[in-house]
Amino acid sequence: MRAKLDVKYKQSATPLETDLDSDKLETTSSSYEAKKEGATMPSRDTFSFSFRGPDLQSNGHEGTEKAKQTKSTPNATPPSRDPASLKNISNPHVRTILDKMMKEDGFAYKAWDGGTSHPVLDSLKRVAVVLVGKINQESYQNATKEVFEGMEACGASAYFSDSESKHKRGKFPAVNVGISLGPGGTKPMRVSVGGHGPMMQRLIDNKHVQRLASHQDASFKFWQPKLYKHYSDMMVKLRGRNPTLRKNFPRSVFASMAFNFPPHVYTHRHRDVRNLPYGMCAVHALGNFDPTAGGHLILWELKLIIEFPPGCMVLLPSATITHSNVPVAVGQKRASITQYTAGSLFRHVDNGFTTDAALKASNKARFEVHSAARLCRWEKGLNMWSKYVDGKII
Ligand SMILES: O=C(O)CCC(=O)C(=O)O
């Protein structure tokens, strides 16, 4: 039988007095409803999450270097239930909303300085989310600064259309670059970036962007080796079939990158439903901001409000877990870059390099076999998530 993830979070009875505009309110409002239809998902009872770590020092996740497990620290600092944790949140109205979420709705606050990495596990000890700490090297800090400044300079001289500047993820310019297969499309291609071609090429050719992209890739491989292989195998098949499909980065398994341009990147509550449902997205926070005052990542089903310092990265199943950010303090600046892969690419390869519609028209029997197999794909996908037992990734 197909189960559903159907997590509902009731809006509190009394709307809060706020002078936030509706978009901002949406970011932090305490109402949401997340539905993922047609997926065999553990029930709400079994899909509870726990917080583990600090367990690994974050000094070895980069490039092809094998990540090292060093200096494990036995006792995790659990997320706090004390609303006083919110004391630095700069916007009083946002603070009020978060305070209510903590007091009435069971949200917890995770302080994180980015010095160590922390997995968030589900009840089966699977790694659902990872807070990946910063690499403790000056050149890495410099790369995060360079990427931010490069995006700031590019963004300042670019013209962004309304749809690029205001979209379901928020009110900030965002451009996606890479390989995808959009709705109605028949074959994978590099997505059009409109008039931003030269700017996007400059960004993906930038050695600092490439360094962060490699770090995202290596962290994904380290924390989720089975899922990583699934991505890698798919990309090898896809590009074996069409070698002209150029990847953004030779040293990344992901098909696409989103550049969320500064200065005011904070996302509304959303899920990235086109990404692979059981897949992972890597997000780097960038900029000059106080992470205790704003920029927090809220994971709604997990009821976690997480400090997300500039230069740090989070791996999360962005199609499945509803997420948003807290706005940064007035006068401070934030941007982010993410890598992800569209679920449609996996379906295309799985179908024998064709779309569902074309397969149905050309080979109904095969289409039906594929449709039946899809019923357990979610479960199979979740089983590719690593388990984290006794400080080890298995
Ligand atoms: O900026 C962030 O922290 C989140 C980015 C995000 O959710 C997105 O680009 O979809």
Q: pLDDT tens digit string along 201-255?
A: 999 999 999 999 999 999 999 999 999 999 999 999 999 999 999 999 999 999 9
Task: For Cα atoms 209, 215, 219, give the angle at the middle one, nearest 5 degrees.
Answer: 150
108 CB less than 6 Å from ligand 1? no
Residue 36 lies in a domain: yes
What is the CA(381)–ligand 1 centre distance, in A?
22
Total domains in the fold of the chain: 1
Residue 374 or 16, more confident: 374
Alpha helices in 1-56 (DSSP H): 22-28
| Alpha-carbon span 43 to 386, nearest angstrom | 19
Full-model pTM: 0.85
36 CB less than 6 Å from ligand 1? no
Distances (CA, A) of 62 to 66, 68, 81: 8, 10, 34
Which of 49-63, 204-218, 300-314, 374-388 is least confident?
A: 49-63
Q: What is the pLDDT of residue 381?
A: 94
What is the CA(365)–ligand 1 centre distance, in A?
40
Q: Which amino acid is present at 18?
A: T
Please say if the pLDDT value at position 48 is more than 70: no
Q: pLDDT band at 51, cuts 50/70/90?
A: low
Relative to the CA of 334, which ligand 1 atom is closest?
A: 1
Please say if the pLDDT value at position 393 is more than 50: yes
Length of the chain: 394
Distant-in-sequence, close-in-space partners of 3: CB < 8 Å, separation ≥ 6? 39, 40, 41, 42, 43
Mean pLDDT of the 252-266 span: 98
Q: Give the position of tokens 């990309």.
A: 235
What is the CA(317)–ligand 1 centre distance, in A?
12
98 CA to centre of own chain: 21
pLDDT per residue over 341-355, tens digit each? 999 999 999 999 998
| Alpha-carbon span 152 to 94, nearest angstrom | 26
Residue 203 lies in a domain: yes
Q: Give first-to-last CA distance, the chain, whole Å.
A: 28
Residue 266 lies in a domain: yes
Q: pLDDT band at 129, cuts 50/70/90?
A: very high
Residue 353 lies in a domain: yes
Q: Shortest CA distance to 321 belongs to which of 241, 385, 242?
A: 385
Residue 267 lies in a domain: yes
Mean pLDDT of the 88-101 span: 97
Distances (CA, A) of 36 to 49, 122, 124: 18, 17, 20
Mean pLDDT over the full length of the chain: 83
What DSSP letter does each residue of 202-242 carry, written as one string?
A: HHHH-HHHHHHHHHHHHHHHHH-HHHHHHHHHHHHHHHHH-
Mean pLDDT of the 70-99 span: 83
Residue 86 lies in a domain: no
Q: Give the position of tokens 């509304």.
A: 268
Q: Which amino acid is present at 203?
A: L
Encoded tokens for 45: 């009872």
Please say if the pLDDT value at position 61 is more than 80: no
Percentage of the chain with pLDDT > 90? 71
Distant-in-sequence, close-in-space partners of 108: CB < 8 Å, separation ≥ 6? 78, 79, 80, 81, 102, 303, 304, 305
Q: What is the pLDDT of residue 309?
A: 98
Closest residue by CA, ligand 1 atom 6: 267
Maximal C-alpha separation, the chain: 61
Encoded tokens for 17: 């007095």
Residue 183 lies in a domain: yes
Residue 91 lies in a domain: no
Which structural domain range is residue 153 located in?
1-7+21-74+105-394
71: left (phi over 0), alpha (psi -120 to 50) or beta: left
260 CB less than 6 Å from ligand 1? yes
Q: Which CATH number goes with the domain that contains 117?
A: 3.60.130.30
What is the CA(241)–ligand 1 centre distance, in A?
31
Mean pLDDT of the 259-270 span: 97
